[in-house]
Amino acid sequence: PFILLWVFGWCALRTVGFLFQAEQNADARVPPASLTKILSMYLVFDAVEDGRVSLRDNVKVSRRAALEGGSRMGLRPGDKLTLERLLYGMAVASGNDASCAVAEHVYGSQAAFVKKMNVIGKKLGMDDSTFKTPHGLPARGQYTTARDMLSLARNYIARFPKALRYHSARTVTIHNRTC
């Protein structure tokens, strides 16, 4: 079994033993897009593991989070959802609104969350990545590489294997709308 990552650059990793098999343009800087949400979810699971937050926490959605553009879960200002439900919104609907709500809940603000994303990214070996948003929408100076995303994927799966249930889900429903 192999893991393949990226379009502009890629790395093939043998999942047994996590050995590099091949690569092309693995260090080319590219916008991270929605793969950013993997690092955001990593931070959430880290905070859950440390006891700072719980998956059962009720998260109140701010106006700023609810109005975030791009792909959305369909949140409205003032909605209250569990942190776990928002994680499904991030993984299934690629919800930028859910990513913002989660960032604000876990670290108090999107800016504080993004700062922590960059610190954790470096600790995970993501030496050629800089994040500016919790969701991956285009932002000046935000970039990553296939090699760094592979490092994130390896660490994410190894440390939080139960997180794959969120990525395996096919739908999430909010306001009688299924994403």
CA dihedral 5, 2, 43, 91 (to 10 degrees): 70
pLDDT of residue 21: 60
- Residue-wise pLDDT tens digits, 75-93: 999 999 999 999 999 999 9
CB 80 within 8 A of CB 60: yes
pTM for this model (two decimals): 0.89
- Residue-wise pLDDT tens digits, 124-171: 999 999 999 999 999 999 999 988 998 999 899 999 999 999 999 998
- Is 54 considered catalytic here? no
What phi, psi does 78 have (nearest 5°)? Answer: 90, -10
pLDDT of residue 2: 45
- Residue-wise pLDDT tens digits, 18-72: 555 666 778 999 999 999 999 999 999 999 999 999 999 999 999 999 999 999 9
- Does residue 4 have a pLDDT over 50? no
- Is 71 considered catalytic here? no
Out of 94, 99, 129, 151, pick the active-site residue.
Answer: 94
Output the average pLDDT for the chain: 90
What's at 56, amino acid-wise?
Answer: R
- Is 34 considered catalytic here? yes
Out of 37, 99, 129, 132, pick the active-site residue.
Answer: 37
Q: If you count DSSP H runs as helices and E runs as strands, how many of each does the chain have, helices first?
A: 7, 7
Tokens of 142: 């935000």
Rounded CA gap, 71 and 126, in Å? 25
CB 128 within 8 A of CB 141: no
pLDDT of residue 25: 79
